[in-house]
Amino acid sequence: MFKGARKDDLKQNASELNLEVNEKNTLWDIIELIKNSEPYKENSESVKEIADLVIEERKRHEQSQVEIEKLKLELEVAKAQAEIKNTSCEGESQDSLETLIKSVRTLTVKLPTKQENWVFFFSSLERAFSTKNVPEKYKAEILLNLLGERASNVIAYIKDDDLSDYLKVKDIVLREFQPTPSSCLENFRKATRNHNETYMMFASRLITNFDYYLKLRDVSDFESLKQLIVSDKLRQTLDRETASFISVRESDKWFRPDELGKEVDLYYTSRGKATPENYAGHKNSNVRNVSKVFLSDVKSIKCVLCPKNHHISACPNYLMLSVEERIEVVKSNKLCFNCLHFHTVSNCKSKVSCHCRKRHHKTLHFHKTDEWHQPVSAERNKQENRASGDSQNRGWLADAVNAPSRGGEHSLNVNAPDFVQGSSLTFMSNNCNKQHSALLSTAVCYLIDESGKQVRL
């Protein structure tokens, strides 16, 4: 299985099987690691196929590198033969070539990193050739020198006799890196000025790219240009599926407006699709947007506490709860604390709805107690809010009225829970100590509204 495999091949096999390999592992260790792995035990044939593919891929890569080196050597031999033939002017020609390379490199833009900029690169290069009066025999060599590492891609596809032909080398480079006509047009539409170029340079780049697009479309007269503009506009209105079909049908050429319209109509008819005006999936269709608006208007709101269709803030069952219980309802149903809808507060688009200007609903607002109020524990407040009023308030009434005082009389205990904010019991007492206490004609009363807010009267 691993015949002819190198350590790098085994590492790649182990990586394909999600196995970790250390640098200290030997060749034998990696083989044992692969054989003891679960994928190998479950399906050893697949692992063997992967190993064979890795080895074959490495061999093909090495073979291609050998061929490239061979071509480079042949190129060097060709250069040496040319130098032998011109021994009389060898030094002078070499100095002249090096000087031309430096001059042309200075006048030419940098090698492009995007496909759409290769045309502008060659336009700049040819202007430099014209400025420096570069001989035809040096143009191909200067181009290969400027390409640097990318020249290996060109050398692999060109014959020895064509290495000195600038036009053939240029044609191979453009075939290797040039964009398609559709992508060229799209790049022209989306082109933006680079931070290091002037508007004059930007305009020149746009002109060059558009000229190259016209060259790819084989447009050289005004009538063809008009038809191309109309066809591009028609193609721009098509949906993605139809545009892909038209691109396949066009191949290397392009349809005139009448031909394009005929192809699109036939495509819609054969697929049983609606016309573009009624096609709901079209990106410019207004039908889809109208449907969304209509559905949003008639959408009903389900209450989480009762089967009725209303907002939870209008639900009587919700308003009867205390603030703590309302918060629990909001948390358990994952509602927004700001508007009580089904999303988080961070995604809420409504404005502040509480009178305190904070991000919570007005029904979830905690009201502050007065400064004179005697503090009580949170647990006692919770019990007071949830307890039924009958049995507990009767005990508070007894504490307030029957509080013992001097002389065996009864006085009003103002520290009883009935005087604590939140108590809803009303009582009167006239059995007080006449000598040491007096019943004033005043009372502390609180009014509770529907939202749970307590107002002191």
Residue at 447 is within a domain: no
Say if residue 2's pLDDT is above 50: yes
CA 262 to each of CA 167, 172, 224, 287, 339: distance values in angstroms, whole numbers, following the listed order: 39, 36, 18, 25, 54
Q: Tokens representing 151?
A: 């020249």
Q: What percent of the chain has pLDDT over 70?
A: 66
Mind listing the pLDDT tens digit for each residue in 362-372? Answer: 888 876 644 33
Confidence of residue 387 (pLDDT cuts 50, 70, 90): very low
CA–CA distance, 197 with 420 (Å, rounded to integer): 77
> Do 169 and 217 have their domain in common?
no
- What is the structure's pLDDT at 436? 53
CA–CA distance, 18 with 7 (Å, rounded to integer): 16
Average pLDDT over residues 71-81: 84
Say if residue 342's pLDDT is above 70: yes
User: What is the domain count for the chain?
Assistant: 4
Say if residue 241's pLDDT is above 70: yes
Say how far residue 257 (Cα) sits from the centre of its chain. 37
Confidence of residue 431 (pLDDT cuts 50, 70, 90): very low
Q: Quickly tell me which residue has 């647990």 as its tokens.
A: 379
Count other C-beta atoms under 10 Å from residue 282's C-beta. Answer: 19
Confidence of residue 397 (pLDDT cuts 50, 70, 90): very low
Mind listing the pLDDT tens digit for each residue in 274-303? Answer: 665 544 444 444 444 444 444 444 445 778
Q: Which residue would you say has higher pLDDT here, 7 or 318?
A: 318
Please name the amino acid found at residue 79.
Answer: K
Count other C-beta atoms under 10 Å from residue 278's C-beta. Answer: 10
Q: Tokens representing 175?
A: 């075939």
Whether 236 and 230 have beta carbons less than 8 Å apart is answered as no
Mind listing the pLDDT tens digit for each residue in 102-129? Answer: 888 888 877 777 666 676 788 788 888 8
Domain that includes residue 170, residue range: 109-177
> Do 173 and 196 have their domain in common?
no
Residue at 299 is within a domain: no
Residue at 135 is within a domain: yes
- What is the structure's pLDDT at 33? 72
Average pLDDT over residues 352-376: 66
Q: How many helices (DSSP H) and strands (DSSP E) are in the chain?
A: 19, 4
> Do 207 and 163 have their domain in common?
no
> Do 80 and 120 have their domain in common?
no
> Do 267 and 196 have their domain in common?
yes
> Do 23 and 82 have their domain in common?
yes
- What is the structure's pLDDT at 410? 43
Average pLDDT over residues 89-99: 63
Q: Tokens representing 212?
A: 């190259």
Residue at 114 is within a domain: yes
Residue 404, H or E segment:
strand 403-404
Which residue, of 132, 156, 177, is where some domain finishes?
177
Residue at 392 is within a domain: no
Residue at 382 is within a domain: no
Which residue, of 332, 364, 396, is where some domain finishes?
364
> Do 236 and 257 have their domain in common?
yes
Q: Tokens representing 336?
A: 């927004």
Q: Which residue would you say has higher pLDDT here, 452 or 348?
A: 348
Mean pLDDT of the chain: 71
Residue at 320 is within a domain: yes
Residue at 423 is within a domain: no
- What is the structure's pLDDT at 277? 56
Phi, psi of 302 (to 5 degrees): -95, 135
The closest of 177, 140, 129, 134 to 162, measured between CA atoms, is 140
CA–CA distance, 182 with 240 (Å, rounded to integer): 13
CA–CA distance, 283 with 74 (Å, rounded to integer): 56
Q: What percent of the chain has pLDDT over 90?
A: 0
Determine what percent of the chain falls in helix, strand and coil, rounding each to the nearest 5. 60, 0, 40
Q: Which region, left, alpha or beta, applies to residue 5 given φ > 0 means left and ψ of -120 to 50 means alpha?
A: beta
CA–CA distance, 44 with 37 (Å, rounded to integer): 10
Which residue, of 126, 153, 177, is where some domain finishes?
177
